[in-house]
Amino acid sequence: MLNLFGLARIRVIEKEIAREYQKREMRCPIHLSIGQEAIPVGVSKSLNTKDYIVSTHRCHAHYIAKGGSIQKLISELYGKEDGACKGIGGSMHLHDKSINHLCSIPIVGGSIPIGVGIGYALKLKNKKNVSVIYFGDAATEEGVFFESLHFAALKKLPVIFVCEDNKYSVYTSINARQGNRSLKKIVESLNIKFINTLNNNVNDIEQKTLQARSYAISNGPVFIYSKTYRHLEHCGPNNDDDLKYRPKKEIDYWLKRDPIIIEIQKLKKIKRFNENKYLDFCNSVRKEIITSFVNAKKSKPFTFSKLSKLEYAK
């Protein structure tokens, strides 16, 4: 049940963040990954501690799945000095060298060239590790996307591009933005291996990332494409389906394909699901996150006078 626990851990933490955010004590924007947990869990399960990840504005799940400190995450959301970025980054700029989560970039597509640069460094140093680059479907419309893929392919870099396609860039659907273009054809035209995954299936994503990692170290870049769906609004803790930019049939389709539901159904089918263990685990995570909120509220806020010491760069 390890993958289920990985999914549930992120879900419980982000639901508690959404609840606390309503109190207006966290003053940074938040982009939650509720509904999208299968990708970071499946990917990170396939990596080792020395592999690197670069994330986006929707970075909490990537950070947690890679082993990030929940206390550091929560303190960062409150702007406290014991946060992941000393309280000066907020939700969209998580960074933790201790787990090789090097940065989270809120600019659409901004994570891609940085991750390629990490891959280039790994290649030059003959390291047997990979650079994983997370980005959304909208990033594939940016010029830097094509430039970065071209460079990675040319240099045969150990890079795994992970496209999390949740169908929307804020309120605009992928069909309205991209028409009928084939991302697979674009990627393969650059001589990059393209891997499609089963929708929100954490086990399939894990297995294919394992294959991708081995291939990337020996042969060069791999592109993993995963369709998924966010349950809440683009930015914030609320449901915004009253705006009607997403068809009800589409919402219902994806809610039935919630990654946690899929995993529980699989475990029940093979008689490996233990409901009591699952509920106990969720409760333990809830206690952990509530304690993190209490500690964060007590800790010292960031003060700009400390910038002169460059403590944030250590």
Q: pLDDT digits over 110-119, tens only?
A: 999 999 999 9
> CB atoms < 10 A from the CB of 125, how many?
8
* Cα–Cα distance measured from residue 203 to residue 223, given in angstroms and rounded to the nearest whole number: 18
Q: How confident is the model at residue 169 (pLDDT cuts 50, 70, 90)?
A: very high
Cα of 55 vs its chain's centroid, Å? 6
CB of 60 closer than 8 Å to CB of 83: no
Q: What pLDDT score does 312 carry?
A: 46
- Which residues in 246-256 are b (16+ Cβ under 10 Å) and which e? beeeeeeebee
Domains and CATH numbers, the chain: 2-230+252-294 (3.40.50.970)
CB of 61 closer than 8 Å to CB of 101: no
Residues 81-132 have pLDDT tens digits of: 999 999 999 999 999 999 999 999 999 999 999 999 999 999 999 999 999 9
Q: What pLDDT score does 67 carry?
A: 97
Length of the chain: 314
Tracing tokens 């299936």 back to the chain, one arrives at: 201
HEC profile of the chain: CHHHHHHHHHHHHHHHHHHHHCCCCCCCCCCCCCCCCHHHHHHHHCCCCCCEEEEECCCHHHHHHCCCCHHHHHHHHCCECCCCCCCCCCHHHCCEHHHCEEEEECCCCCHHHHHHHHHHHHHHCCCCCCEEEEEEHHHHHCHHHHHHHHHHHHHCCCEEEEEEECCEECCEEHHHHHCCCCHHHHHHHCCCEEEECCCCCHHHHHHHHHHHHHHHHHHCCEEEEEECCCCCCCCCCCCCHHHCCCCHHHHHHHHCCCHHHHHHHHHHHCCCCCHHHHHHHHHHHHHHHHHHHHHHHHCCECCHHHHHHCHHHC
Name the pairing type of β-strands 168-169 and 172-173. antiparallel
Partner residues linked to 161 by β-bridges: 133, 223
What does the CA dihedral 27, 35, 119, 95 come to, rounded to 10 degrees? 20
Q: How confident is the model at residue 65 (pLDDT cuts 50, 70, 90)?
A: very high
> CB atoms < 10 A from the CB of 53, how many?
29
Cα of 275 vs its chain's centroid, Å? 27
* Cα–Cα distance measured from residue 128 to residue 264, given in angstroms and rounded to the nearest whole number: 35
* Cα–Cα distance measured from residue 148 to residue 185, given in angstroms and rounded to the nearest whole number: 16
10 Å CB burial of residue 127 (0-12, 13-18, 19+) is middle
* Cα–Cα distance measured from residue 1 to residue 90, given in angstroms and rounded to the nearest whole number: 32
Residues 173-196 have pLDDT tens digits of: 999 999 999 999 999 999 999 999
- Of the ranges 185-199, 268-282, 295-309, which one carries the lowest mean pLDDT score? 295-309
Q: What pLDDT score does 303 carry?
A: 80
Partner residues linked to 135 by β-bridges: 163
When the pLDDT of each residue in the chain is averaged and rounded to a whole number, the result is 96
